[in-house]
Amino acid sequence: MVTRRYLRIKVFQALYALEKNRKEDFLVSEKKLNQTIQNCQVLSVYFISLLPEIAHYRSLRLEELKEKVNPTEEDLNPNSKFIDNLVIKQIEENTNIKQLCRNYKIDWNDRYDFIAQMYHEIANSDLYSKYLNSPERSYKEDKNFVLDMIEIIFAESELLHWFLEEKNVHWFDDYNDALLATYKNIEKFKENQPKQKPLTPFFKNDDEITFYQDLFRKTLLYNAEYQKRIDDKLLHWESERIMDIDTILMKMAMCELTQFQTIPIKVTINEYIEIAKLYSSRKSGVFINGILDSIVTDLKNEEVLNKMGRGLIND
């Protein structure tokens, strides 16, 4: 469910934090890394569990409008398409989602004002108007509307960003990955699925867990060797002048190159160039690319690149 890039970024952040706090124990750092990745899964449950709450708010408002002193025809016979959305009802009735909310202590009962604001943000969108005014009533349309709402409204909502970042400041970086996990889960929903249907596992398989844990541990284990290889390539540059971010990313790349046999060389180099563009200076991608290309040549000459399977692609 989560991408390898997300896992690389989380390992990078953990290594960077450890570099800045060298007194911290390695095991404490690794525990924090594991917790950070689990928090992304928690964020995904926040997203998916919010949908029924918004629909419930709208249902209560429709009932209140019917109790007006002089209700209009629209008040008495409102368009209930949104509150009757079949996919949102599936989420509301899903026993596994309910259990996850209990496990993660997710409770929307005291968030009435926020939920009201989120509903109005949705209701003021062209997406919502088009959905309500469409004569079609089908599971497919309901599902497409929910997916569009996630992709268009949730993704761009400053209110939702603010609310979740207030709960956990680290969710700023996790927002898009958790939202993508939510989208992929709902994308797999079927009309007649059981109420006990579990969400798609956060990790595709145990290999993903092994990947990020080994990347963290082995980058630290071979830190001195990787630092020497970098120093040997700096020529007239002093290692102290290189940004810590760039150094950590290059060490992680060397770890992947030498310790992960099934990851192609080009995939590794391209991934760390892209991460450098996100977290380092404007020129870091070019700098890292040059250093790593030279190191790869050395590793090949030393015959220490033992790639196999997918790792041989574009070698």
Predicted confidence (pLDDT) per residue in 184-196, tens digit: 999 999 999 999 9
Looking at the structure, tell me whether residues 125 and 242 fall in a common domain: no
Looking at the structure, tell me whether residues 46 and 161 fall in a common domain: yes
Looking at the structure, tell me whether residues 17 and 162 fall in a common domain: yes
Q: Which pLDDT score is estimated for 274?
A: 95
Question: pLDDT of 27-53, one tens digit each?
Answer: 999 999 999 999 999 999 999 999 999
Of the three residues 187, 206, 233, the one that is the final residue of a domain is 187
Look at residues 246, 247, 243, 269 and name the one whose alpha carbon lies nearest to residue 256.
269
Does 204 reside within a domain? no
pLDDT tier for residue 201 given thresholds of 50, 70 and 90: confident
**DSSP conformational letter for 111:** -
Q: In angstroms, rounded to a whole number, what is the distance separating the alpha carbons of residues 87 and 190?
A: 9
Q: In angstroms, rounded to a whole number, what is the distance separating the alpha carbons of residues 40 and 174?
A: 6
Looking at the structure, tell me whether residues 40 and 177 fall in a common domain: yes
% the chain with pLDDT above 70: 96
Name residue 281's amino acid: S
Q: Which pLDDT score is estimated for 52?
A: 98
Structural domain that includes position 34: 4-187
Looking at the structure, tell me whether residues 294 and 171 fall in a common domain: no
Looking at the structure, tell me whether residues 164 and 301 fall in a common domain: no
Element (DSSP H or E) covering residue 78: none
Residue tagged 């959305």 (tokens): 85
Tokens encoding 35: 């917790």
Phi, psi (deg, nearest 5) at residue 162: -60, -45
Q: Which pLDDT score is estimated for 141?
A: 97
Cα 99 off chain centre by: 21
Does 193 reside within a domain? no
Residues 56 and 82: beta-carbon distance below 8 Å: no
Is it the case that residue 226 has pLDDT exceeding 70? yes
Question: pLDDT of 48-74, one tens digit each?
Answer: 999 999 999 999 999 888 887 788 877
pLDDT tier for residue 233 given thresholds of 50, 70 and 90: confident
pTM: predicted TM-score of the whole model, two decimal places: 0.85
